[in-house]
Amino acid sequence: MDNTNITLPLLDVNSPHCALRVEKAIRTVPAIAGAEVDLNEHAAHLTSTAPAQAVREAVAAIRQAGYNVATEHHRFTTTGVTCAGCANSAGNILNKLPGIISARVDHVDKQAEIEVVKGSLTVDDLLNALKPAGYGLIAQAA
């Protein structure tokens, strides 16, 4: 498999010491083949053959080290999700997308809650991932 390049926008990384701590934390993640923190960009640049897993684990490692990544929280009304199996399937599809930190789909309240790395995925990306399985998302007002 080829390596995928991933960029994580970092929060509160304002000194060389902070950048070094974040880079050290990221390098402990087995799914990451390479990592570099660019202090000027306030970003971590990663490479991985398993980008979806790498993003989740890198964000967890960064948070564990006391720093954070810029994320967006989305809440949607779901369509086509009629049972627990559908909710599980839709959640699995979303969680395989690089950039998703967490995706929870509930068939009872017909809701999806998704946390994504800021700027990594659009709402259309999420919709297009679910569409082949017959599921949909309707954005809710913030």
Mean pLDDT, consecutive 10-residue stretches, the chain (142 aa), reads 89 95 96 94 94 94 97 96 97 96 96 96 94 93 63
The pLDDT assigned to 2 comes to 83
The pLDDT assigned to 3 comes to 86
* CB 35, CB 24: distance < 8 Å: no
The pLDDT assigned to 142 comes to 59
Helices (H), 35-122: 51-64, 84-95
Q: Which pTM was predicted?
A: 0.89
Q: How far apart are CA 46 and CA 24, in angstroms?
A: 12
The pLDDT assigned to 1 comes to 62
* CB 10, CB 42: distance < 8 Å: yes
